[in-house]
Amino acid sequence: MNRARRGLVFTVAQCAVGALLALLATSRVWRVVVGAGPVPLPGQKLTGGAVLPWAPPVALVGLAGAGALLAVRDRVRALLGVLLMLAGLPLAIGGVYIAAAGRGHVEWSLLCALGGVLVGHAGLRGLLRGASWPALGSRYERPAAEPAEYVERGGPSRSDVAMWDALDRGEDPTRRSE
């Protein structure tokens, strides 16, 4: 495998792993809120998706971007790299912010931050090195549309007329005679 192809495979894997880490982290409990007052209330468990409601959709953008890195080329790949950097940035900042606040499970918010860093770094690699990576082969491209030829029929064929005649006589034209 040549160097450019290895770079592409590594970047796609890095982006997918980062997005999956962020999705995993946001699906776990980050904080337990306990109601205080004269009557003790049971604790309410808040997942990362409840604490940072925008994080799971942003992680899904990163996951989709991993697949899109394979399909696009040239300037579109560079634009996708910028989009992935912009997707990884809030995941990293949000995870670090929640961890620094110190409320709840720090490890899940840091895992979300790590996922954001991986997605953002994959975007940076796509922006800087994406032009040298191979693209999908021509067999995956849409074929050029050929003009359709209009063929005029002279009328119904003999078999069509014979079937209608059989129906007129009350016979089943699909039944085979033995």
| DSSP string for 89-117 | HHHHHHHHHHHHHT-S-HHHHHHHHHHHH
Q: Measuring CA to CA, how many Å separate 114 from each of 49, 89, 109, 122, 156? A: 16, 10, 9, 12, 70
Residue 141, domain member (yes or no): no
Give φ, ψ of 33 to 5 degrees.
Answer: -100, 125
Give me the domain span that covers residue 20: 3-34+41-136
pLDDT per position as a tens digit, 11-40: 999 999 999 999 999 999 988 877 777 776
Q: How far is CA 96 from the centre of its chain?
A: 25
Residue 62, domain member (yes or no): yes
CA-based nearest residue to 115, from 30, 47, 46, 16:
16
Residue 50, domain member (yes or no): yes
Residue 95, domain member (yes or no): yes
Compute the Cα dihedral for 50, 51, 54, 56 and give only its sign: negative
* For the chain, percent of residues with pLDDT exceeding 90: 48
Residue ranges of the chain with pLDDT lower than 50?
150-152
- pLDDT for position 157: 62
What angle separates helix 106-129 from helix 55-71, to the nearest 10 degrees? Answer: 30
Q: How many CB atoms lie within 10 A of CB 72?
A: 18
Total number of domains in the chain: 1
Residue 110, domain member (yes or no): yes
